């Protein structure tokens, strides 16, 4: 009877891991759709002659942000990269890959927020360079402090306030940072 219960427990663990991966994938897809909303918002706020440029900028920002986060940002925030075997990446129903997809959609939201704030006020290449720098270095440092506990920040907050800091849906890490950086860009 024991081997049957062990096999059942393993199957339940596999179902739970698959469900977690699927739920995270759905969340990542929803955040990806948020980028369409950022694009529509920016297109609606610029003059007619700049609408195509705004869309190109949003799409290019997303692509460049994805590359910057893949090669540098994820390593900075979580001290791990993708230079491992495919078997290791697919362990746990591909949870590590889906988690990266989820995190990269949030990382790419920062330039979209900034872009909407400074629409029609900047040149393409300097903004692209700034966005890549933000997604590769600045955002991952902050993300690692809040979501991964880097630099002892969470322990310090807990020692000062008596409770840990919880960022709900990226309100501080993503939207706060994007808003503050957009304000700096406007000023």
Q: Which one, of 106, 112, 115, lies nearest residue 170 by Cα?
A: 106
Residue 92 pLDDT: 65
**Domain residue ranges of the chain, discontinuous segments joined by +:** 2-186
| The model's pTM | 0.87
Residue 119 and residue 186: Cα distance in Å, rounded? 9
Residue 106 and residue 130: Cα distance in Å, rounded? 17
Mean pLDDT of the chain: 89
- For 117-160, how does the pLDDT look when each residue is reduced to its tens digit (9 = 90+)? 888 888 999 999 999 999 999 999 999 999 888 888 888 989 99
Q: What is the largest CA-CA distance in the chain?
A: 73
Positive or negative, the CA dihedral 120, 68, 142, 166 is: positive
CB atoms within 10 A of CB 18: 14
CB atoms within 10 A of CB 25: 18
- For 85-124, how does the pLDDT look when each residue is reduced to its tens digit (9 = 90+)? 777 777 767 888 899 999 999 999 999 999 988 888 889 9
**CATH code for the part of the protein at 2-186:** 1.10.3430.10
């Amino acid at each position: 009877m024991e081997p049957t219960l062990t096999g059942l427990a393993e199957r339940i663990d596999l179902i739970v891991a698959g469900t977690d991966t699927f739920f995270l994938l759905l969340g990542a897809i929803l955040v990806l759709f948020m980028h369409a909303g950022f694009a529509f918002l920016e297109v609606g706020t610029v003059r007619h002659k700049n609408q195509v440029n705004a869309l190109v900028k949003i799409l290019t920002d997303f692509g460049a942000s994805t590359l910057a986060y893949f090669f540098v940002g994820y390593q900075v925030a979580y001290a791990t990269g993708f230079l491992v075997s495919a078997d290791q990446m697919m362990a746990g129903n591909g949870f590590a890959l889906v988690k990266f997809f989820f995190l990269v959609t949030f990382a790419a939201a920062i330039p979209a927020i900034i872009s909407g704030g400074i629409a029609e006020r900047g040149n393409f290449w300097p903004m692209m360079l700034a966005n890549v720098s933000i997604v590769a270095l600045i955002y991952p440092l902050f993300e690692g402090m809040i979501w991964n506990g880097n630099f002892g920040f969470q322990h310090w907050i807990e020692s000062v306030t008596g409770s840990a800091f919880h960022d709900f849906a990226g309100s501080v890490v993503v939207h706060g940072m994007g808003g503050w950086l957009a304000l700096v860009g406007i000023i």
